[in-house]
Amino acid sequence: MTIENLDEALQAAFDESTRIYRERGFARRIGFGRKPALISVDLANAWTRPGNPFTCEGVDDRIIPAMQKLLAACRANGHVVVHVTTAYQITNRQDPRTDMGLWHMKIPVEAVDLKDEHLWAIDSRIAPIEGEWVMLKKRASSFSGTPLAGYLRAAGVDTILVTGVTATACVRTTICDGLQEGFRTIAVKEAIGDRVPGAVAWNLYDIDAKFADVESVDTCVDYLNTVNTTAA
């Protein structure tokens, strides 16, 4: 199946699913709140640069430019930014002292060895600046087993703009957990990627129906630039 045929098949599925969701009251809007944070998930070299098992598609032409726009707006307006990355100390699948549960039984954990900082360092094109937290996680969700929720609440955050990779795993689970933790969740369409054809389109469609508002980068940038002046 070609990418064009896949896109057509997905659109047909979306059209039918939209009818079902609308009839049953799904796809309601969360909306933006008064205090945002940008949560960038796994936009580190192992995912953004060529030659790694975790390398994703659409990074150079879509995700990085979108992230640069979002970061510029956050930095200009003093919004909270969290860069999330992933790496493991124990990369031997047979070692019972794993620091990732049993996820290493499914994925090539050795590709993000904690010893090689370059692998899990945030991509230099969107490098963190002073005041932006770089958080190391061990599980798919950025909230699972981390202090992220407490960090955001202490900062007064009520809205999270989630970006990064992958749509099928770490981004999706972060969005789901973010909503369950009580944050308004926004998925930034152009700033989310994956390595599997069709995965982004399907997951964003389904996320928009059940777990977050999927919004364009331009809409999110406008929000970041105006929320401080428009909030009552």
Catalytic residues: 170
CA distance linking residue 72 with residue 2, whole number of Å: 37
Q: What are the E-state strand segments in 2-117?
A: 36-41, 80-86
**What are the tokens at 98?**
């794993």
Nearest to 44 by CA among 126, 125, 120, 142: 120
- Four-CA torsion 85, 86, 87, 93, nearest 10 degrees: -170
**What are the tokens at 228?**
């401080």
Place of tokens 């150079």: 60
- Laid out side by side, the sheet with 133-137 consists of 133-137, 80-86, 36-41, 159-165, 184-193, 213-215
